[in-house]
Amino acid sequence: MKITRVSTAVIAGNFDWVLVRVETDAGVSGLGEAYWGAGVAELVAKSSECIIGEDPRNVGKLYEKMIRRMSGAGSLAGATVTAISGIELALWDLVARSLNTPISTLFGGRFRDRIRIYADCHAGADQTPESFAEKARATVAAGFTALKFDLDVPNPYRHLVVDDTDPANHWFEPYNRTIGASERQWMVEVVAAVRDAVGPDILVGMDCHWKYAVPDVIKLAQALEQFDLLWLEDPVPPENIAAQAEVTRNTRTPTCTGENLYRKHGYRELIETQAARIIAPDIPKMGGLLEAKKVADHADTYYIPIAPHNVASPVGTVAAAHVCAAMSNFLVMEFHASDVPWWATMVDGDPPIRDGFITLTDAPGHGLTLNEDVARANAKPGTTFFGDAV
Ligand code: MG
C-alpha cells in the first residue's frame, strides 16, 4: 500500500477547521484534521510531499520524516507541527480502516468507551454572576457533566486596574497582569454563582488565558479553593514553567496548562517539575495522536491527568477521543463549538457528542463519514475543497 495523494479542505466554523485527506493506491483513505491557523493548509501540502509513495502503515517513521524535512532536528514548533498533526491523524484513520479496527485499538485499546466532554461556556450573556449561572444551568440541562468559563473577560472593575481597557479587544491586554481587589471579588462571585447553580458534582473549570502575575493569581486561586474547581487554567503566561510551578505549589485549586506546547519535548519540563496538576495538550496541534499518547504516558509517571484542549470539528474531536480512550490517565476533553449549530451535521449519523459524552463504536478508523454537502457548503472562500475550487 502506498500513499498517492494528500489534500485539504478548510471549513469556516468558529475556527478554520483544516481537514486533511490521505489517499492510497489500495483504495483506502483516511481523514484527519489540523488545528486552525494561517498557512496550515499550505504547510500540509509542503510537509506531505516527502511521504508520497511511502507505506502509510509506518506512521511513526513518516511523522519523523516530515518533522525533519521541514525543520532539521530540534527546532520545530508552531504551525508546521500543527500541519503534520493533521496528516498524522489522517494516517491513523487510514491504517485503522485498512485493518478494519477502531483507531483506539492501535494505541493499546480502551480503558473506556465513553469519553467525558466538557463544554466551553466562555462567559455569561452580560457581566452579572447570575448570567454566568444561567449559562451553566443551560449547559447542564443539555446533558454536560463538566463545563468551563473564562475569568479574564470584561468585567465591571477592570477599569480600576488598567486605564486602556478595550472590551472588544480584551485578549490583547498584556500590559498589566494585576487583578484588582474588586475585580477579584467579582471573579469569586462568578464562580460562586456557577457552583451554586450546578451543585457539587458537576466538574467546573475556569480559564485565565495566561493573563496574570504570580502573586495576583495565587490570591485568586486561594480565594477560589472553597468552590472545589476542576482546575484553574493558564494562570500565568506560558513561557516560564517555574512561574507556573509557583502558582501550583501555593494553592489547593488544581492548575492546568499545556495547550500551546508542541511535541513530547515541549511537555518535558512541565511534567518533570510537576508544574501543573493537569495537562491539556491540543492533540491536532501539538503533534497528533501518538505524540499525545507519549505525553500522557510521561505525565502518568507523575500521576498527572490529561484533559485535552480542543476546538476542532467532529473529525479532530472524535479522532482525539480514540487516543483519549487509550490513556489510563484521561480526565475530560473540551468541546468548543456550542455556538456552531451545524457542527454535528458535518458528519453522517448520530451527533458525536450526546449527553456530554462521546461514545466510541467499533467502526473502523475514527468511525466518521464526512457529510460532504455540509462541509462544502461551509468551506472557506478562496480555499480548495480536497483539490476542487471553492
Ligand atoms: Mg484555555
Beta-strand ranges (E) seen in the chain are 3-12, 16-24, 29-34, 114-120, 146-150, 203-207, 231-233, 255-257, 278-279, 333-335, 353-354, 357-359, 384-385, 388-389
Measured distance CA(335)–CA(312) in Å, rounded:
8
296 and 174 in a single domain? The answer is yes
Task: Say whether 185 sits in a helix, a strand or coil.
Answer: helix
Determine the distance separating the centroid of ligand 1 and the alpha carbon of 202, expressed in angstroms. 19
Phi, psi of 191 (to 5 degrees): -65, -40
Determine the distance separating the centroid of ligand 1 and the alpha carbon of 153, expressed in angstroms. 13
186 and 266 in a single domain? The answer is yes
240 and 302 in a single domain? The answer is yes
33 and 119 in a single domain? The answer is no
31 and 142 in a single domain? The answer is no
The pLDDT score that the predictor gives to residue 316 is 98
Q: How many domains does the chain have?
A: 2
149 and 208 in a single domain? The answer is yes
In a domain? residue 366: no
In a domain? residue 364: no
165 and 294 in a single domain? The answer is yes
88 and 160 in a single domain? The answer is no
> In which region does residue 282 sit, left (phi positive, over 0), alpha (psi from -120 to 50) or beta (all else)?
beta
In a domain? residue 193: yes
Determine the distance separating the centroid of ligand 1 and the alpha carbon of 209, expressed in angstroms. 6
In a domain? residue 281: yes
The grid coordinates of residue 120 equal 466551553
Q: Please state, as a whole number, how many other Cβ atoms lie within 10 Å of the Cβ of residue 382.
A: 8
The pLDDT score that the predictor gives to residue 195 is 98
The pLDDT score that the predictor gives to residue 390 is 87
**C-alpha separations of 173 from 23, 158, 162, 332 in Å:** 44, 11, 9, 30
What is the residue range of 169's domain?
Answer: 106-359
322 and 221 in a single domain? The answer is yes
Measured distance CA(286)–CA(340) in Å, rounded:
24
The pLDDT score that the predictor gives to residue 171 is 61
378 and 260 in a single domain? The answer is no
Q: What is the DSSP letter of 379?
A: B
The pLDDT score that the predictor gives to residue 176 is 81
Determine the distance separating the centroid of ligand 1 and the alpha carbon of 135, expressed in angstroms. 18
Over the chain (390 residues), what is each successive 10-residue block's mean pLDDT? 98 98 98 96 97 98 95 79 98 98 98 98 97 98 98 90 66 75 97 98 97 97 98 96 98 97 96 98 98 98 98 98 98 97 97 98 98 98 93
Sign, Cα dihedral of 157, 160, 161, 166: positive
In a domain? residue 190: yes
On whether the CB atoms of residues 344 and 338 are closer than 8 A, the answer is no
At 52, which CATH number?
Answer: 3.30.390.10
On whether the CB atoms of residues 361 and 367 are closer than 8 A, the answer is yes
In a domain? residue 112: yes
In a domain? residue 128: yes
What is the value of pTM for the model shown? Answer: 0.96
308 and 223 in a single domain? The answer is yes
On whether the CB atoms of residues 195 and 204 are closer than 8 A, the answer is yes
Determine the distance separating the centroid of ligand 1 and the alpha carbon of 337, expressed in angstroms. 14
68 and 175 in a single domain? The answer is no
At 221, which CATH number?
Answer: 3.20.20.120
Amino acid making up residue 251 = T
Determine the distance separating the centroid of ligand 1 and the alpha carbon of 155, expressed in angstroms. 19
In a domain? residue 177: yes
Determine the distance separating the centroid of ligand 1 and the alpha carbon of 96, expressed in angstroms. 31
